Structure formats: C-alpha cells, structure tokens
A = this chain, B = another copy of it.
Amino acid sequence: MKGIRNVTPYVPGEQPNFTDMIKLNTNENPYPPSPKVAKTLKNFSTNQLKRYNSVDNLSLKESLAQSYHLTPNHFVVGNGSDEILAFCFLAFFNCSDPVLFPTITYGFYRIWADLFKIPYKEIPLNKNYEINFEDYNQLNGGIIIANPNAPTGIFKSIEELAQLLEQNSESVVIIDEAYIDFAGTSAITLLERYPNLVIVQTFSKSRSLAGLRVGYAIGNPELMNVLAAIKSSFNPYSVDMIAESLAKSAVEDSLYYEEYSRKICQTRKWFDEKIKAVGFKSLPSSTNFLMVTHPKLSMEKVYQQLEGNNIFVRYFSKPTELQQFLRISIGTQEEMAEVYQILENILKRSI
C-alpha cells in the first residue's frame, strides 16, 4: 500500500499506576489543583457539552491577559503546550535555513522538526550542561530554547535571552517556559522590546493540571494571528469546554499555585542538600525536578533499585551524556524524605 508514513514517535515517560507508589518520573505536581478548580468542575453542567466549545477561547484569554497585564490578542490557547509548540513549528519555522536548538533539551523538538520536514541543527551544551547562546550566532530559520532547559533544569538569565533575541531579530525565537514558575523569571518583560519573541507556558506543571491538557503561547498579536490561523487549519476546537473553564479558574487562583510552587522549591532545596551531604551531585535546578548523579554509583542500577522500592524516577538511556543522571521530580516533603532514606540505604549497600 502506498502513502504510508514511516515514523519513529516520541516515547513519553511510563505511567505506572500502583497503590502506594511514589511517582517522580514525569515532573507532575504532587499537590492537587486549586479548590476553585474543583468547585468549577462541581458546578459544570453536562448539558452544555452538546454544543461546540469556543474556537478563540476568549474567556480564558481574558483571564490570562488580566493576570499578565497584556491583552487577549497576545495569547493563543491549545491542547497542552505540546500542541501549541507543534503549531509554533508549523507557523514560524517555515524556512529552508535550519532551526536551532540544543542537543540536550525537550525531546519533542527534534520529533516535530522531523514530522514537518523542517531542517534543523542541534547545538551541543557546554561541559557544565549549560546552553551557550554565543553558539547560536549563525544562519538560522528560527530558534527554540526551553528555559529552564529540560532535563537539565538549568535557567538562563533574562539578560542573556535579550541578547539572543537581539542577535536573531530576523528569526522567531521561541522560549518554552514549561517550568518557569519554579524559580525562573519569565521572558514576558521582553515581549514589548522583541517582536520576534514567542513564549510558551503550560497548566501541566505549577498549576497541577497535567491531565487536563491546556497550554498557551504569548507573543505579539501579529505572530499570534498566524499561530491562531494554523490552529484553525488543524483542529480549531482543541481546548474542550471543561478544560477551558477549569483552566480559567486556575488562572484566577494564582496565589494558590504560587504557594505550592514555593513549597516544591523548598522541598527541592532540602532534598538537594541532603543527598549532596552523602556524596550525590546535582545540576543547579530552577524546576520541579533534579538531575542527580553519584561518582561511585551506576544510575541505571539505582533507577532499578528505586523501582524495586515502588519509587519511579526517569532514567535516560540516550544520549550517553545523560546515562550518569537520574531525573527525579520533586514530590511532597514526605515523599522526598522517603526517597532520601532509600537512596541512603542503596548507597550504604553499594559502597
């Protein structure tokens, strides 16, 4: 049969579902969504679902606009930041010059470039696993940077981003801020100065709504018009009625998620100090996860030993540079205390 595409898909983290497991493998938030979100769901009338939902998501965009002191025209909402990022690739990387992104970053960038036949070039990190923006001063048809980067967790300063935007004013530069609420500073303040900047954020991490699928782009209204046109040419109704109304409630309860994001950062700091005290090392994280290594342990083995204790973390078998790390999402304080205990035991038995 002809016309059938040969495609190697993205492999997301496994989703085990055991009672009493500690699930720290897909950077989910350990805390529930805001009580206001729960209340909105409780009051949602099923009868409405017979009608199509909104195409432009104006109601949610108005709340976002108010929260960020921008206008609704600065936003496009989609089915998770994955959909919004895929639409951004279609909307803004329509060029024969290669799109640039780091070798070690969100694995989906390469997958989308392949899927849409967009030329791309991967730029190595430096020896400290940091992105070096000077390496991006070369011919390109667009740039995408996760900030903080994943899975390294390392944050680049707004000043450095401004320079990147300045030096690439003829290309669209996408900043993927999935983890921005855990200690980073958003590039939103750069929007007015750089019309080539597009920021993508999500409700899946700090807002505890991974299972609801809502993400959004922020950018100048001209670029957002192009992005909205791509959405309308692919799947205009992708943010369902319930998702839009729950996401709106989440935006309107920012104090709630800010409090829990702080709590997660405190737990991360506590956990980081504890494991370092017994010889582990980690990359400096501005996210809700930690890249952990130990000079004397095989991380693949530790991964399996943790799994034997019903603790699920993420081990990357490729690229090879990542084999020495485990990516551990930050759970509740109680969960991380338990993980620390187990890690300490593993260490004692191994060395």
Taking Cβ atoms with an 8 Å cutoff, the residues of A that contact B are 1-5, 7-12, 15, 23, 26, 28-33, 37-38, 41, 44, 46-55, 79-80, 82-83, 86, 90-95, 97, 111-112, 114-115, 141-142, 169-172, 195-196, 204, 208-213, 223, 226, 228-238, 240-243, 246
Contact = CB atoms under 8 A, between A and B. Distances in A.
Given A44-B41, A213-B238, A242-B242, A2 B141 contact: yes
Nearest to A84: B235
Contact of A49 (B23, B211, B237): B211
Copies of this protein in the assembly total 2
A210 B50 contact: yes
A6 B210 CA distance: 32
B10 A236 contact: yes
A176 to B, nearest CB: 15
Contacts of A5: 90-92, 94, 226, 230
27 contacts: A1-B169, A1-B196, A2-B171, A4-B91, A5-B91, A7-B226, A9-B231, A15-B52, A23-B51, A26-B52, A29-B50, A32-B46, A41-B242, A49-B211, A50-B208, A50-B210, A79-B238, A79-B240, A80-B235, A80-B237, A112-B233, A112-B234, A115-B233, A210-B237, A211-B240, A212-B241, A213-B238
